[in-house]
Amino acid sequence: MNDIDTDTLKGIANQLRIHSIEATTAAASGHPTSCCSSADLVAALFFGHMRYDPKNPHYYNNDRFILSKGHAAPLLYAAWAENGFIPMAELLKLRQLDSDLEGHPTPRLAFADVATGSLGQGLSVGVGMALCARLDNLDYRTYVLMGDGECSEGSVWEAAALAGHNQLNNLIALVDVNRLGQSEPTPLGHNLDAYKRRFEGFGWRTEEIDGHDLDEIIEVLAAVGLGHQPLVILAKTLKGAGISFVQDKEGWHGRALTKEEAEKAIAELKPSAKSGIGHPIAAPTSLPAPKNEAPSAYPPVNYKLGDKVATREAFGNALARIGDADQRVVALDGDTKNSTYSEKFFKKFPNRFTECFIAEQNMVGVATGFAARGKVPFASTFATFFSRAFDQVRVAGISTANVKLCGSHVGVSIGEDGPSQMGLEDLAMMRAVVGSTVLYPSDAVSTEKLMDQMAGQKGIFFLRTSRPKTAVLYNNDEQFPIGGAKVLRQASGDKVTVVAAGVTLYEALKAADLLKSEGIGITVIDAYSVKPLAKDVIQGAAQKTNNLILTVEDHYAEGGLGDAVAGELSASGAKVHKLAVRELPHSGKPEELMAKYGIDANAIIQKVKSLG
């Protein structure tokens, strides 16, 4: 605990309330009552407990704070104003286009490591940070402030389970149990014991407190870090606490006070409020900085043309190879590491690997946490199971997080396991993530070269790998720039430009050979970079084939490679025909399914013949 008395903290809490009310009333929208219930907790953390440098929110050994209940953003902004980091006057620009004090926090603000606002995600990020602190031998702690309503999200329990399993005693969750959700009371109301039983069942130490009693708050915070378990502080609070005519009442969620109501509320809070106390906070301890520098290069690759290697295996090879050169690389998997081949990394670098078990939402959140601490996390599972974590991936996009995802087992070419295991919508999903890069290599060399760039470049990347073994097509020194494509077959007089990737590229090449014997030429392009797409390369080729393009993909017809090509090129007059999976597939042998669903060489041949 720091040298500040609880009366002062109470005063700061009320000042944070006043800021929150003023800002939301000025914006005429927002969640002041959700700020008020958390105000005492935040005052205690920011001004009486956490070890951080308020002038340098990114300092590597600062305690971390994640506002999982992101709708209490004005409270967070108020704390960073009262500690001196942002000017007080800025607070009244809440939610305006020209201020980064948005409706929910985003990393446009230096003190927001990640975007929050989609509930139930903060604890996963916290788990990632707590694991990272341990990996980096740093003693910062990670505090996650959650709402009680968001504890209904399963992702919270995925995170809780992994934190308990890994005994993350450097992770502290605070649940603001204010009893009221958006549209009705929460299922557990003020029953703190029920929360206690749940968290204890997931391996946590629990403390129940009055969330408006600064003495209790400070006392329980003083015991942070004891024992081996993560700690959850269950704080009984009132929504709108401190505003007599609002607190603990239904119907006040997400509602700004009118000007008159705000004046009345502030009049109640003002007498005890204390502003401008600054930051009488403990400094973080001085420890060596983590080694988070990018290497100048990655080791070379070594494949033999024509050898059969599944791209999923090449992903595993790449991960292990890159891991040698790049200490920032960590890996995560959802109990599929022997299928995705991330186990190649796991076996080599067990302490840089996190087994997340079958909990994909949390896996992506944990990866986001690692990324926020300077690591380069690669998270892998079957491509289709990333659909489980789409919201976490979406929010990672809003966070501009440096997260790398690898999805294996795509399309009908996985065969017998059937539709529940087939990634057939992953391209649509990942393309729609803001700022994403979507890669779909066909052979081992291109997989490895794309992995180098995934590790080396910032941002969210998705690598789509396949189950079947496919021939090595490229020499080891071939380059695969993001946004590029390879023209593999091209001759004057070609009838159509066929754009493919993954298993369908091999079908296109086979079709090209067969068609050639019938005197029909086709251009074949390896579109390994689905987003950004090599628009110029494809367009250039298409212009030589009378603007005729045929896309072929082991993916549904919506939102995948075909739509990407059509969406980018049709404005220029390209005529884009699509071969894709257009119905619910069945179990069967890979080659049977590719034939049945019309994406094999024969389907390409028939389509090419029918065109023009």
Distance of CA 22 to the CA centre of its chain: 32
Q: Which is nearer to a second copy, 318 or 580 (CB)?
A: 580
How far is 612 from 610, CA to CA, in rounded Å? 7
591 is catalytic: no
CB of residue 333 to a second copy, shortest distance in Å: 7
Q: What tokens were used for 174?
A: 């605070």
Question: b or e along 161-200 (b: 16 or more beta carbons within 10 Å of the residue's beta carbon)?
Answer: bbbbebebbbbbbbbbbbbbbeeeebebebbbeebbebbe
CB of residue 86 to a second copy, shortest distance in Å: 16
Count the Cβ atoms, other than its own, within 10 Å of residue 550. 26
How far is 64 from 311, CA to CA, in rounded Å? 38
Q: What tokens were used for 194?
A: 């029920």
SS3 string of 483-543?
CCCEEEECCCCCCEEEEECCHHHHHHHHHHHHHHHCCCCEEEEECCEEECCCHHHHHHHHH
- Name every residue whose Cβ is closer than 8 Å to that of residue 98 and which is 6 or more positions away in sequence: none
CB of residue 267 to a second copy, shortest distance in Å: 26
Q: Is 268 exposed, middle or buried (0-12, 13-18, 19+ CB in 10 A)?
A: middle
Q: Which is nearer to a second copy, 51 or 255 (CB)?
A: 255
CB of residue 514 to a second copy, shortest distance in Å: 23
Q: Which is nearer to a second copy, 91 or 269 (CB)?
A: 91
CB of residue 527 to a second copy, shortest distance in Å: 15
How far is 328 from 313, CA to CA, in rounded Å? 22
Residue type, 138: L
Catalytic residue of the set 360, 448, 553, 568: 360
Q: Which is nearer to a second copy, 96 or 285 (CB)?
A: 96
Q: Are 308 and 298 in contact (CB under 8 A)?
A: no
Q: Which is nearer to a second copy, 281 or 363 (CB)?
A: 363
**Residue 248: strand, helix, or coil:** coil
Q: Which is nearer to a second copy, 75 or 472 (CB)?
A: 75
CB of residue 58 to a second copy, shortest distance in Å: 20
Ramachandran angles phi, psi of 601, nearest 5°: -55, -40
CB of residue 53 to a second copy, shortest distance in Å: 27
Q: Are 465 and 490 in contact (CB under 8 A)?
A: no
Q: Which is nearer to a second copy, 53 or 335 (CB)?
A: 335
Instruction: List active site positions.
Output: 360
